[in-house]
């Protein structure tokens, strides 16, 4: 199976390594030339998070024309670059190529459909984590579960094969019964945790340390769940609240700096539109009020638009 990862950052490398170690022919595409050069010169160094490291030879490229038409194209950029990434990947997308997204946020599936037309799409979520420490070096973090589901009949077998490849290397992967619920519940979680950590500069445990701030997290996620329900997606408020409640413990993710907080620290664009903006818009379409979601959305936007003017 030929699998091409578009966006070979932290997660693209993590999944690229898993698929390669399970026997697939993997291609890693990225626009970051220094990272691509480093991987080609010295391999991709994988820190396993528990003190070990290994180096893999990889096919890393920054020129799509060097890549073969693939069985599966995996989009693993941040969500604001999905349209650009999938558009770039069109030359390696054949008639039967399946496109997989495990990215966070809303709108990735729609962008993939818009750019590819009739290609089968597989969507999913993962709570595995990783960091790209520097060019050519990735750190795998924690454990979790990856869920995916073919959104089109034509990709059912491919989705099952991808799950099989991941499981073969010890990655906990399963086929989802209803991936839109999984995606919206993760959006509800991220809309609460990512925004509040980015606004306050606190870790996950930090924003969960006061009953008032915990209530805010629950309220934001409840607004997203309400929007999901209006879209006909049966997301569960109590499920999302339970997950939020579980991550404050330092043994879980209490010390974690969310990706949006890391983006703020490094003054990078955030995934705010996919994680909040789109849910706000969909809520408006249904005539719903989402005041707390709109508030954190506006605050992250104003921070992101004014990185160089922050007085702290
Ligand atoms: P990342 O920034 O580490 O990697 C993204 C890569 O995409 C970068 O190397 C960047 O150079 C590249 N890129 C940007 N624009 C591109 C383009 N147009 N074409 C090709 N490559 C392009 O991001 P990440 O942390 O790997 O996150 C990827 C997605 O996975 C996000 O949606 C994120 O929310 C989600 N996610 C991340 C984690 C995590 O622990 N890192 C966990 C779960 C989900």
Query: Does ligand 1 lie within 6 Å of residue 189's CB atom?
Result: no
Q: Which residues, given as ranges, of the chain have pLDDT below 50?
A: none
Structure tokens at 133: 């420490």
pLDDT the model gives residue 181 = 98
pLDDT the model gives residue 107 = 98
pLDDT the model gives residue 15 = 98
> What gap in Å lies between CA 12 and CA 132, rounded to an integer?
10
Query: Does ligand 1 lie within 6 Å of residue 272's CB atom?
Result: no
pLDDT the model gives residue 265 = 97
For 178-211, letters b (16+ CB in 10 Å) and e give ebbbbbbbbbbbbbbbbbbbbbeebbbbbbbeee
Tens-place pLDDT, residues 284-305: 999 999 999 999 999 999 999 9
Structure tokens at 33: 């030339």
Query: Does ligand 1 lie within 6 Å of residue 88's CB atom?
Result: yes
Cα of 76 vs centre of ligand 1, distance in Å, is 5
pLDDT the model gives residue 208 = 95
pTM: 0.97
pLDDT the model gives residue 116 = 97
Nearest CA to ligand 1 atom 18: 85
Cα of 164 vs centre of ligand 1, distance in Å, is 23
pLDDT the model gives residue 143 = 83
Candidate from 6, 8, 9 with most ligand 1 atoms within 8 A of CB, to mutate:
9
Cα of 7 vs centre of ligand 1, distance in Å, is 6
Query: Does ligand 1 lie within 6 Å of residue 31's CB atom?
Result: yes
C-alpha pair distances (Å), 100 with each of 61, 76, 78: 19, 9, 14
């Amino acid at each position: 199976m030929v699998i091409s990862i578009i966006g070979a950052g932290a997660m693209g490398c993590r999944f690229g390594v898993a698929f390669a170690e399970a026997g697939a022919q993997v291609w890693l595409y990225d626009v970051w030339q220094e990272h691509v050069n480093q991987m080609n010169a010295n391999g991709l160094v994988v820190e396993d998070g528990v003190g070990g490291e290994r180096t893999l030879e990889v096919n890393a490229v920054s020129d799509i024309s060097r890549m073969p038409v693939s069985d599966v194209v995996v989009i693993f950029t941040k969500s604001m670059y999905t349209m650009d990434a999938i558009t770039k990947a069109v030359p390696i997308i054949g008639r039967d190529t399946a496109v997989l997204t495990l990215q966070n946020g809303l709108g990735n599936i729609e962008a993939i459909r818009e750019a590819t037309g009739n290609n089968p799409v597989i969507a999913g979520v993962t709570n595995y984590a990783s960091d790209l420490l520097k060019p050519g070096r990735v750190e795998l973090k924690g454990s979790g579960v990856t869920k995916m589901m073919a959104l089109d009949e034509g990709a059912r077998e491919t989705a099952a094969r991808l799950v099989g490849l991941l499981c073969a290397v010890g990655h906990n992967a399963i086929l989802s019964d209803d991936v839109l619920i999984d995606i919206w519940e993760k959006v509800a979680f991220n809309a609460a945790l990512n925004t509040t950590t980015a606004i306050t500069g606190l870790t996950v445990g930090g924003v969960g340390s006061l009953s008032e701030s915990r209530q805010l997290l629950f309220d934001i996620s409840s607004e997203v769940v309400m929007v999901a329900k209006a879209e006909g997606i049966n997301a569960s408020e109590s499920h999302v609240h339970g997950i939020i409640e579980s991550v404050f413990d330092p043994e879980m993710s209490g010390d974690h700096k969310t990706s949006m907080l890391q983006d703020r620290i490094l003054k990078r664009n955030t995934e705010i539109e996919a994680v909040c903006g789109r849910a706000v818009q969909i809520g408006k379409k249904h005539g719903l009020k989402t005041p707390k979601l709109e508030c954190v959305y506006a605050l992250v936007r104003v921070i992101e638009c004014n990185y160089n003017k922050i007085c702290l």
